Amino acid sequence: EAEPAVCSRCRRAQLRLCLERLKGLVPLGAAAGRHTTLSLLTRARLHIQKLEDQERRALHQIEQLQREQRHLQRQLEKLGMERVRIDSIGSSLSSERSDSDQGES
């Protein structure tokens, strides 16, 4: 019969240890003195919800930035193709001019 009491003491000690660790992880605010287990767990739940909201907003922002990056990349590629076309038109015009310049001399 001594064994269940030891296990119970071990569980309580483990619970106290976990609650102490939780206190270190959860912002407790101005009343950081003595917290009940319920208030600590409530604050932990609210903190987790806040972190999940921040994560959702961050993921949404990442998706928006990726879409914007793809859009800008497409625009850059279009500009690159237009530049090649303009360069080739310019070089053909300059070669036509040099041909006509040679005919005049």
pLDDT in tens, 9-52: 899 999 999 999 998 898 877 665 677 889 899 999 999 999 99
Residue ranges per domain, the chain?
A: 9-24+36-89
Using the predicted structure, report yes or no on whether residue 59 has a pLDDT greater than 60. Answer: yes
Query: Are 26 and 40 within 8 A, CB to CB?
Result: yes
- The pLDDT assigned to 4 comes to 65
Using the predicted structure, report yes or no on whether residue 104 has a pLDDT greater than 60. Answer: no
- The pLDDT assigned to 89 comes to 77
* Structure letter (DSSP) for residue 26: S
Across residues 40-65, what is the average pLDDT? 96
d(CA 81, CA 92): 17
Angle at 51 between CA 57 and CA 18, to 5 degrees: 165
Name the strand (E) or helix (H) holding 30. none
pLDDT, tens digit, 9 for 90 and up, residues 81-99: 887 777 777 777 666 666 6
d(CA 9, CA 36): 19
